[in-house]
Amino acid sequence: MSMYQKLIDNEAVMSVVGLGYVGLPIALAFARHIKVIGFDINEERVEMMRNGIDPSEELEARDFQDCDITFSADPEDLKKAHFHIVAVPTPINQSNHPDLKPLLGASRTVASALKSGDYVVYESTVYPGCTEEDCVPVLEEMSGLKFNADFKVGYSPERINPGDKVNTVETIVKVVSGSDAESAEEIAKIYNLVVKAGTHRASSIKVAEASKIIENTQRDVNIALINELSIIFDRIGINTYEVLEAAGTKWNFLKFTPGLVGGHCIGIDPYYLTWKSDKLGYNARVINSGRYVNDAMGAHVGKQVVKKMLEQKKNPLDSRVLVMGLTFKEDVADIRNTKVVDVIRELKSYNIEVDVVDPFASPSEVVQEYGFELTDNPEIGKYDAVVLAVRHEPYRTMDEAAFEALMKDDKGVLADLKGLLRGQIERLNYWSL
């Protein structure tokens, strides 16, 4: 009997290892059709999910209803599963090199539960070759089983967009691959249980791995171009958004906008590709240049805010700045690899007092991750500059008067990183990328 048939007949169980932004939605989607074990090493997070609470604040209590799922932090429970999905983070280290410790750790955990006939499918973003060259040897060594003879492996990259209620697990075409023709067929059929948009079967695991990593690399390079153009246009004295609007009247112009490039995907994934490229003896000049430009944007913004303050005869040593928004994108709680932190650090390097507010970010997570505290409420009439860093919904309704009220005097600087208020500011000293 096929693995697909065993799963839908409840003769086999699926596990999802890693229940973050990626793993939890996948686990719940499958749990509406088959038996699922949702596994995470964080007992506190697991307990929240047992009570219908998403620690990532992406899903609601109703999303947990009518799901045949058991949440666990006990690796022994994984021995009950036969089809394992690994969806753990793949970060980078301080040298911008791949940090595979979470992925290899999860592989060891799965390997300890692996049985003959089992499947392991990886969803974590990696460089082409990582699944077969790094993960499979761990599975073989720890389990004592033989790859393809005793167990099968696949790769199906995640495409979840945090905060997006339209493009979800069910509605985005799923790229799938397997270690042989049989496993590719089985994996595609299993994902088709939940992915209404259907699946695209890649010819190999390496192709599937590459397809994911270039999605974000392509966006990174294009945003870097626009960021570089924004620096040039600022020196010329023209507004980038006005230029983009004019250029965008041509049918084939690609509509990217300037901004901070952070988060767990776009700001990280290209480094996995450049690291692999270096190992193969090729310097990925375009990709590396894009990374250089985007990684430098936070410091650039900070310097520009200081420059605008100096133009208004404000002494940075006596100044106070409010930064509005900390998460890596609007209307989400995710603070991972947010580049707003680079803006804050640059401002503080001038000994400026900086207050940071964010209606979505967890204060405790901010302290743990970045070492500073969020401000509960900004003080009226206390700031020399306001940096509108993230386009959160509560900020999108603010007008010039609301920002004026925050300023110390009529020489206040408003830095609008997303051009949200372009054309609406008459009295404040306005600047945008």
Residues 6+ apart with CB under 8 A from 285: none
Helices vs strands, H then E, count in the chain? 15, 13
Q: How far apart are CA 51 and CA 73, in angstroms?
A: 15
Q: How far apart are CA 258 and CA 78, in angstroms?
A: 44
Instruction: List, as one string, the DSSP characters of 45-76.
Output: HHHHHHTT--TTS-S-GGGGTT--EEEE--GG
The token pair that represents 175 in the structure block:
């790229």
Q: How far apart are CA 201 and CA 188, in angstroms?
A: 7
C-alpha pair distances (Å), 342 with each of 13, 298, 303, 401, 420: 44, 5, 11, 28, 21
| Residues composing the chain | 433
Q: How far apart are CA 48 and CA 37, in angstroms?
A: 15
Closest of 170, 234, 179 to residue 209, by C-alpha: 179
Residues 6+ apart with CB under 8 A from 81: 12, 13, 14, 15, 37, 113, 118
> What is the set of active-site residues?
265
**Angle at which helices 297-311 and 340-348 pack, to 10 degrees?**
50
Q: How far apart are CA 333 and CA 54, in angstroms?
A: 11
Instruction: List, as one string, the DSSP characters of 4-51.
Output: HHHHHTTSS-EEEE--STTHHHHHHHHHTTS-EEEE-S-HHHHHHHHT
Q: How far apart are CA 302 and CA 107, in angstroms?
A: 41
The token pair that represents 88 in the structure block:
């753990």
